[in-house]
Structure 1
Amino acid sequence: MHRITIVGGGAGGLELAVRLGKKLGRKKKALITLVDASRTHLWKPLLHQVAAGTLDSHADEREYFALARTNGFEFRLGRMDGLNRDKKEIYLEATIDENGEELLPRQALAYDTLVIALGSQTNDFGTKGARENCIMLDSLTAAERFHKKLINCCLRAQSQAQGAGEGRFTVTIIGGGATGVELAAELHMTTKILSSYGLVNFHPEKDLKIVIVDAAPRLLQMLPERLSYAVAKELRSIAIEVHTNEQVMEVSKEGVMMASGKFIPSGIVVWAAGIKAPDFLKEIDGLETNRINQLVVNRQLQSSRDPAVFALGDCCACPQGEGLPMVPPRAQSAHQQASMLAKSLVRMLQGKSLLEFSYKDHGSLVSLGNYSTVGSLMGAIASGSVFIEGTLAKWMYWSLHKHHQVAVNGLFHTWLSTWAETIDRVRNPRIKLH
């Protein structure tokens, strides 16, 4: 059978594996293999909620092995670190368990068609001290580590005498994109709830300060101005400090130094500014990549130098057309590319031509926890954009997650899990306390 190997189980990679598994794998028309370094999948836009403690990751994680069994594909645990296009093999580094012992040896995995869907990671732009002193919020492990530090700092503040000082602990978020602003709002909501759980000496406004720093002239620079200003107004109304036009020069254990000379003493620093594809992809085995390691692909999502290698999602640089920018690195882009490529690869095995990808911008939504959700629906009317906020925007943000769950789990299982989530909200605390 034709071997289609998909590397990366994020939103795009997993959706592609599920679709191809149902169309080809179950019918024994192709062998579909998904490779990922983790055993479970969590929708990446939820990481800021895990970090703040407003989402229990274990309730939303999905087991790759179980998904593979029910959807007609195979799963291989491992982290890709090499490629041999002549032999048509990818290489997976040895997997080490939590005790430091080798769980799986280094492996070679053959393919006929390779799809790289590795997503992106945080880009610190070589800023001094960033890698050593920041939490890079691009993995479940990092989000859980941040949450533990946050809870510990709140408990520490509770044990201290009242009125010992204002702004005793500062969380600085570098990056005013969607991740940064959503995390800031979730953190504020978390600390308000914590103070109601018997932490009588902990006062969110006095004991915790939340700061957002961004080099751009406004928050959410890539989104419509009206959306940006609405978000900034909401954040300032809940006492979150916003510093725009401030370039970070160095991050130390004591805090964040800006090019302007301003210094923000910080207990926790989160880097949420900029993305890049994994470093090992840089010109891997002669494939063309750009300055942030993204694989250069054509409109069919084939790499520019090898028709047997495809890429989708944040790790690829896909053109929209002459005079237009590249397809933006968003979850909706990965979803659209996975949907198109699933149809395209089926056509390829039938001897038909590949489809061309056409990106449709359905707009942007930014959730500020329980405070607000604002967004912009693109192309909805002749003028090209409709601004929405409040309950409608919140419902649409929620529906994006459900849409991904339907693509992965099916309609019935998503319906069941939604009821389970509703019950859990009644049974469990509003935030995770450990």
Structure 2
Amino acid sequence: MSESPKIVVVGGGAAGLELATHLGRCLGKHDKAQVTLIDATRTHVWKPLLHQVAAGTFDPAQHALGYLAHARWNHYRFRLGIMQDLDRVKREIVLAPLHNEQGEELIPSRTFSYDYLVFAVGSVSNDFGIPGVQEHCLMLDTKSQASHFQQQLLEALIKANTQKEALKDGQLDVAIVGAGATGVELAAQLHQVTRQIAQYGFETIQPDRHIHLHILDAGPRILPALPEKLSSQVQQELESLGIQVHVSQMVTKVTADAVHTDSGLVIPATIKVWAAGIKGPDFLAQLDLTVNHINQLKVHGDLTLEDDERIYAIGDCAACVMNEQGDLVPPRAQAAHQQASFVAKALVKRIKGQSFDKRYIYHDYGSLVTLGRYSTVGSLMGAITGSVRVSGWIARWVYLSLYKMHQLTLFGWWRTGLTTLARMLRRSIDPAIKLH
């Protein structure tokens, strides 16, 4: 091993970015290791906020974190690129050439050597091979996809507001497949935004008449991660807003203008969103590594790969067993945060030549779902209190604190405070929704 060990983190989502930040501060700052973060984009947005980006209530241009600047502040290196191959014998990863929108090569293929490698590449939507999903549905896996959705929605509203002929059935309707947290929160945000739109010159559009929102799920109820009573409470809230909820409806195909289910239900919709499941990025299955049926990397209890003790996997891309029944750690932000902290401690110990034989234990602190300005509900878990149901302003405060914890990890108290203050001040001059 070289005098300065090389740690490469692939993926700048919540888990990867927090890990690189920890390692940069603990090791990179003191030249104990070279820490490199690799991601396909130049900026970071916390994934649980992508539904707000899609609805236009969160502007990524103002609030996204730039990797290059953050790397400079926190003593790690950032490299833009997409991982293409892995050589475990040479301990090297290969990045694919990077091209711009015109097809011009900006960065040639590169090779990075490592002493320790961490996969933190997150997850992508799983279409389960259903016909028409890839062609006709929008995904919310990345900032660019969420921004594309927001632009498509805004363009549809602009067109409908100025066209001379009457609006067609389903012209402004939105169908969201998947009634987990992403689908439910997106539906609530879209309801809020489309009811505000008339304030910004869209007088021709009558939301209650022209815009219909649908949520579909193959399961018997929405939000399966929440207790059944809370799930029922959220469904009642959605239906009181006029959002149509369709459970026990398995989608069989998606066409350009509708979603079709196994019961024969046909839901006309111009805009269709797929949020019905996740899998690891496809390239993971093409590497010489062991993955499960949804491309997640199989790991030991210490989050090292079953194939290689020098490689870790954290976040949504890791298949980490959490109990004797074989259940996997759920793909949640709290799990990503915990695993990043765990691996940071493990790598610091290994770099210092100290043993670290602990096993990662997932701590479930509950689930929260926000319905925009309408409501926030969820359950909190505690060692003493057990499961506690929360709603209203308490749940809203806890929900917001999750994002603040992520910011505190990345920025510390001082910068997080300044960022929060700046956002509060901008609310007085910015429109409530993004209109460009």
- 1:219 matched residue in structure 2: 222
Shift of 1:157: 2.4
- 2:192 matched residue in structure 1: 189
Q: For 1:340, which of 342, 347, 365 is the aligned residue?
A: 342
Whole-Å Cα distance in 2 between the matches of residues 304 and 156 of structure 1?
Answer: 53
Task: Give yes or no for contact 1:9–1:117 (8 Å, CA) kept in 2.
Answer: yes
> What amino acid sits opposite 2:416 in the alignment?
T
- 2:414 matched residue in structure 1: 412
- For each residue in 1:13-35, what CA deviation from the matched residue of structure 2 results, as whole angstroms up to 9, or x when unmatched? 00000000000001000110000
- 1:323 matched residue in structure 2: 325
Q: For 1:385, which of 379, 384, 387 is the aligned residue?
A: 387
Shift of 1:324: 5.0
Shift of 1:323: 2.7
Segment drifting more, 224-233 vs 178-187:
224-233
Q: 1:283 to 1:150 in 2, by over 3 A?
A: closer
Task: Give yes or no for contact 2:137–2:273 (8 Å, CA) kept in 1.
Answer: yes
Shift of 1:164: 5.5
- 2:369 matched residue in structure 1: 366
Please report the TM-score for the alignment, with normalisation by the length of structure 2.
0.97
- 1:38 matched residue in structure 2: 41
> What amino acid sits opposite 1:344 in the alignment?
A
Q: Secondary structure at the match of 1:387?
A: strand
Alignment map for 1:239-388 (pairs within 5 Å): 239-282=242-285, 284-285=287-288, 287-323=289-325, 325-354=327-356, 355-379=358-382, 381-382=384-385, 384-388=386-390
Whether 1:395 aligns to 2:388 is: no
Q: 1:164 to 1:131 in 2, by over 3 A?
A: closer
Shift of 1:307: 0.4
- 1:423 matched residue in structure 2: 425
Alignment map for 1:197-212 (pairs within 5 Å): 197-212=200-215
Whole-Å Cα distance in 1 between the matches of residues 119 and 253 of structure 2?
Answer: 34
- For each residue in 1:34-60, what CA deviation from the matched residue of structure 2 results, as whole angstroms up to 9, or x when unmatched? 000101111000100000000101122
Segment drifting more, 245-254 vs 162-171:
162-171
> What amino acid sits opposite 1:89 in the alignment?
E
Segment drifting more, 151-160 vs 218-227:
151-160
- For each residue in 1:309-344, what CA deviation from the matched residue of structure 2 results, as whole angstroms up to 9, or x when unmatched? 110000001122323511111110010000111111
Q: Which runs of 5+ in 1 are unaligned?
A: none
Please report the TM-score for the alignment, with normalisation by the length of structure 1.
0.97
Whole-Å Cα distance in 1 between the matches of residues 112 and 351 of structure 2?
Answer: 21
Q: 1:101 to 1:164 in 2, by over 3 A?
A: closer
Whole-Å Cα distance in 2 between the matches of residues 128 and 381 of structure 1?
Answer: 48
How many residues are aligned here?
432
Whether 1:88 aligns to 2:116 is: no
Q: 1:283 to 1:168 in 2, by over 3 A?
A: closer
Q: Which runs of 4+ in 1 moved over 4 A?
A: 160-168
> What amino acid sits opposite 2:257 in the alignment?
E
Whether 1:79 aligns to 2:67 is: no
Shift of 1:137: 1.0
Whole-Å Cα distance in 1 between the matches of residues 122 and 34 of structure 2?
Answer: 23
- 1:135 matched residue in structure 2: 138
Q: For 2:183, which of 180, 183, 200 is the aligned residue?
A: 180
CA RMSD in angstroms comes to 1.4
- 1:158 matched residue in structure 2: 161
Whole-Å Cα distance in 1 between the matches of residues 70 and 159 of structure 2?
Answer: 41
- 1:51 matched residue in structure 2: 54
- 1:171 matched residue in structure 2: 174
> What amino acid sits opposite 1:342 in the alignment?
A
Task: Give yes or no for contact 2:169–2:268 (8 Å, CA) kept in 1.
Answer: no
Task: Give yes or no for contact 2:43–2:64 (8 Å, CA) kept in 1.
Answer: yes
Shift of 1:288: 1.3
Shift of 1:221: 1.6
Whole-Å Cα distance in 2 between the matches of residues 166 and 126 of structure 1?
Answer: 28
Whole-Å Cα distance in 2 between the matches of residues 223 and 276 of structure 1?
Answer: 21
Shift of 1:289: 0.8
Whole-Å Cα distance in 2 between the matches of residues 276 and 164 of structure 1?
Answer: 38
- For each residue in 1:279-326, what CA deviation from the matched residue of structure 2 results, as whole angstroms up to 9, or x when unmatched? 1101621x2110001010011100011101110000001122323511
Task: Give yes or no for contact 1:377–1:388 (8 Å, CA) kept in 2.
Answer: yes
Q: 1:324 to 1:423 in 2, by over 3 A?
A: same
Whole-Å Cα distance in 2 between the matches of residues 205 and 381 of structure 1?
Answer: 46
Task: Give yes or no for contact 2:170–2:269 (8 Å, CA) kept in 1.
Answer: no
Shift of 1:236: 0.5
Q: Identity of counterpart residues, as a percentage?
A: 50
Shift of 1:348: 1.0
Whole-Å Cα distance in 1 between the matches of residues 353 and 229 of structure 2?
Answer: 48
